[in-house]
Amino acid sequence: MKKIIKKSFLSIMVMSLLVTSVLSVNVSAADAAETNLNIVPVVGVYNYSQVSPASSDTYYLGTSTRGSYSYEVNRYYGDWYAIFNMDLSLPYYKGTTAMTVEQTIGRTYSAQSAYEFSTSVGGTASAEIIEITGSVTNSVSFTTGVSFEVSSSVSYDIERADSSGYYKIGVCHDIYRHRVDKYYGTTKMAEYDMPTPRGIAYYALLYSTESGSGYRKY
């Protein structure tokens, strides 16, 4: 598959710094919502699978103690999320002929705290667990808002030999996955699943055999 993207991702990163002030940890998603009516909040993801990893699939990062409890933080495989309500084009069906998918929709990805992001994509950790994990991993406190303006120069050429199915341009966010185990002494009291956002949201070509679900990066 030949991919054509004339609009550089760097320009989007620069634009994001101009349209948002979320680099300060004092900025909340609610504050951002008051200043930008075009914000589309994260309300779910396409590829989330809430499966608890085996111990052999994780690696230990550190332990933090709060009161009578200790919290062991483990990181497992990296992942990415294609975000609902952040499509940059309609889904187009490709059969046996070649086609081009172009961005036709403008969106703004809002700033969120790490806790808001985690819970919105299905994580089970509380705000305290997020704080503990952040202190161990130096994870970001906030995501960064990004404006994806409509531009016909953002396009993907899909060749005749590529898979038949539905294609669209969507917004994705890379994440780290964590498992946080809560202990009282040597007794394990609870286990939490916690995605942590990393980097800046970006656009990508998404593919699915069905129009409404199962999308992945192509």
What are 14-46's pLDDT values in tens digits? 333 333 323 222 222 333 333 333 333 443 444
Query: Residue 78: its pLDDT value, please?
Result: 67
pLDDT at 10 over 60: no
Q: Angle at CA 192, nearest 5°, toward 186 and 193?
A: 140
Query: Residue 13: its pLDDT value, please?
Result: 36
CB 84 within 8 A of CB 45: yes
Query: Residue 51: its pLDDT value, please?
Result: 53
pTM of the model: 0.70
Q: If you average pLDDT over residues 51-72, what whole number do you get?
A: 82
Q: If you average pLDDT over residues 66-81, what whole number do you get?
A: 86
Pairing of strands 107-109, 39-40: parallel
Least confident of 31-40, 49-58, 79-88, 156-165: 31-40
Q: If you average pLDDT over residues 43-61, what whole number do you get?
A: 59
Q: If you average pLDDT over residues 152-165, what whole number do you get?
A: 92
Round to whole Å and give the CA distance between 133 and 64.
8
pLDDT at 48 over 80: no
Percent of the chain at pLDDT > 70 equals 74
Q: Angle at CA 60, nearest 5°, toward 197 and 72?
A: 85
Query: Residue 75: its pLDDT value, please?
Result: 86
The secondary element (H helix, E strand) that includes residue 158 is: strand 155-158
Round to whole Å and give the CA distance between 23 and 34.
17
- Residue-wise pLDDT for 115-127, tens only, equals 888 888 778 889 9
Classified as helix, coil or strand, 2 is coil
